[in-house]
Amino acid sequence: MLIRYITQIGRYFLMLKEIFNKQTKWSVMRNLIFKEIDDLIIGSLGIVAFISFFVGGVVAIQTALNLTNPLIPKYLIGFATRQSVILEFAPTFISVIMAGKMGSFITSSIGTMRVTEQIDALEVMGVNSLNYLVFPKIIALLLYPFVIGISMFLGVLGGWMAGVYGGFTSSDEFINGAQLDFIPFHIVYAFLKTLIFAMLLATIPSFHGYYMKGGALEVGRASTVSFVWTSVTIITFNYILTQLLLGS
Amino acid sequence: MIEVKNIEKSFGGIKILKGVSTVFETGKTNLIIGQSGSGKTVMLKSLLGIHTPESGTISFDGRIYSELAPDEKRDLRTEIGMVFQGSALFDSMTVAENVGFPLKMFTKDNNSKIQERVDFVLKRVNLTDAHKKLPSEISGGMQKRVAIARAIVNNPKYLFCDEPNSGLDPNTAILIDNLIKEITEEYNITTVINTHDMNSVMEIGEKILFLKDGLKAWEGTKEEIFRTDNEAVVAFVYSSNLFKKVREAYLKE
């Protein structure tokens, strides 16, 4: 079991090396990158916006409902919403959700190409199939922090709307709380995490799709396994990065 | 010419190819036949470089594949055209984009020149009105023709076909066989076809390699296959009454 895991990790790093070998012609790669930006980034904006807005609202309501002591100021609702959304919800939990959305899309599309011999066709033609299939995804996901930036904004906006229009706090109190003790490094920390999660989101599902064997059933199975491993890796890296960047 | 010398290949400790040697000649349709599990697909994938044999050599006009540098291997692969069993067309591309793909990847031709060549090869395979269709919008026979057009668009020296007739009706199967034979002769390509289809053997088999249990059991021409006494070949090729009668009629002549 352990040997299998170590072998898989080694194979994953060999795949990373191969992705950057023998580049595809720029004129072809450019179109592939635009297509991936459309599929992975633009295609995710709707669901990210929806989830962020409503979860931001729920965070604000939950905080308000737990502030039962009249000595605790109401501006804490804005403060708690900002901290939760910027530090954890937007970068980490949206990434776990994207492991399901983007990850299963990547695994199933590459896996289907594997079972229908399209990857063999690329290799036989002399194309570096890993570079052709995975490199554009990595480049497209460099725009992933942009998605997370939108998620942060909409999360806080959702919190403000739920707090104010739900009658839990006033607009001034929420905004004061949202600006209270703001540490700019938290944004740096959040976007740094996001970039690393973007790399994991592009490569782990690709790995599971590229090296899968079997037929249609195995494509579905590979998508599930890929979601589990991408989520586990994101959560593990989240812990390590938080300890390294904020813990010391 | 492709020369195969004593290649062996195993999977999970089971030897699939047990030292096969043969020569696939230029300008001829070379067929690999044999029962399921005889090693045909492993043989073809070894020729394509998808599988690496444990021993033996495969040389393409004197270039021994295993001795080439990675870049030279990739260059050699640009001289290869392959028609996969399931066609392996790229789902997200139209017919014209599929056919023009090798040109876009490996030539400096501009779009109009690529389009010209795509039009030419699609016409060559009798497909003139499918340029803008997706592979999912055309029939199996048309997909095979697109796959052949994509395989020959780059003027390959070597053409490999894995079960080109599988899943096709008899008429389309004959059309595909004849198309491959014509292209082989027209462009003087070394063509290797992996097939189960005895019609193909009788129609276009200029050189036939019969594999059994990972070994070369017999090789010869389509004329010789009618006269052979090799038990394994007779049991495999003439298992149906129709082919038995065809053979009897041929021998009477």
> Which domains, from first to last, does chain B contain?
1-79+157-221 (3.40.50.300), 89-155 (no CATH)
* Cβ <8 Å between A118 and B89: yes
Chain-centroid distance of CA B82 in Å reads: 7
pLDDT reported for residue B119: 93
Yes or no: say if A23 and A131 are a contact pair by the CB < 8 Å rule. Answer: yes
Give yes or no for residue B45 having a pLDDT over 80.
Answer: yes
Closest CA to A191 of A100, A58, A94: A94
Q: Smallest Cβ distance to B84: which of A22, A121, A127? A: A121
Helix (H, G, I), strand (E, B) or coil at A95: helix
What is the mean pLDDT of the segment spanning A53-58?
96
Closest CA to A195 of A206, A187, A183: A187
Yes or no: say if B86 and A117 are a contact pair by the CB < 8 Å rule. Answer: yes
Tokens at A218, concatenated: 């195995």
Look at strands B55-60 and B29-33 and give their pairing. unpaired
pLDDT reported for residue A197: 97
Mean pLDDT of chain A: 94
pLDDT reported for residue A208: 96
Q: Hey, of B47, B51, B84, which one would you mutate to test binding to chain A, going by the most A CBs within 10 A of its CB?
A: B84
Helix (H, G, I), strand (E, B) or coil at B103: helix
Give yes or no for residue B64 having a pLDDT over 90.
Answer: yes
pLDDT reported for residue A248: 67
* Cβ <8 Å between A22 and B74: yes
pLDDT reported for residue A200: 97
Closest CA to A12 of A244, A161, A210, A175: A210
- Chain A residues inside the 8 Å CB shell of B71: 22
- Chain B residues inside the 8 Å CB shell of A124: 48-50, 77, 80, 82, 160
Beta-ladder partners of B192: B30, B160
Yes or no: say if A206 and A11 are a contact pair by the CB < 8 Å rule. Answer: no
* Cβ <8 Å between A124 and B50: yes
pLDDT reported for residue B235: 83
Task: Compare B168 and A79 and report the one with higher pLDDT.
Answer: A79
Tokens at B127, concatenated: 């497909």
Give yes or no for residue A40 having a pLDDT over 70.
Answer: yes
pLDDT digits (tens, 9 = 90+) for A117-141: 999 999 888 899 999 999 999 999 9
Helix (H, G, I), strand (E, B) or coil at B238: coil
Yes or no: say if B58 and B3 are a contact pair by the CB < 8 Å rule. Answer: yes
Give yes or no for residue A151 having a pLDDT over 90.
Answer: yes
What is the mean pLDDT of the segment spanning B59-81?
89
Yes or no: say if A119 and A113 are a contact pair by the CB < 8 Å rule. Answer: yes
Query: How many whole angstroms separate alpha carbon A157 and alpha carbon A76?
Result: 15
Is the dihedral angle over the CA atoms B237, B239, B240, B241 positive or is it negative? positive
Beta-ladder partners of B194: B32, B162
Provide, rounded to the nearest whole percent, the portion of chain A with pLDDT above 90: 86
Question: What is the pLDDT confidence band of residue B196, given thresholds at 50, 70 and 90?
Answer: confident
Q: What is the pTM of this model?
A: 0.86
Task: Compare B223 and A162 and report the one with higher pLDDT.
Answer: A162
- Chain A residues inside the 8 Å CB shell of B86: 116-117
Q: Where are the domains of chain A?
A: 25-245
ipTM exceeding cut-off 0.85 for this assembly: no
Question: What is the pLDDT confidence band of residue A75, given thresholds at 50, 70 and 90?
Answer: very high
Yes or no: say if B117 and B153 are a contact pair by the CB < 8 Å rule. Answer: yes
Query: How many whole angstroms separate alpha carbon A75 and alpha carbon A95?
Result: 28
Residue with tokens 């040389």: B59
Long-range contacts, A215-218 (Cβ 8 Å, 24+): A215/A115, A216/A115, A218/A111, A218/A115
Q: How crowded is the C-beta side of B182, counted as CA atoms within 13 Å?
A: 11
Residues of A116-143 as b/e, b for ≥16 C-beta within 10 angstroms? bbbbbbbbbbbbbbbbbbbbbbbbbbee
Query: How many whole angstroms separate alpha carbon A25 and alpha carbon A23?
Result: 6
Query: How many whole angstroms separate alpha carbon A21 and alpha carbon A19?
Result: 6
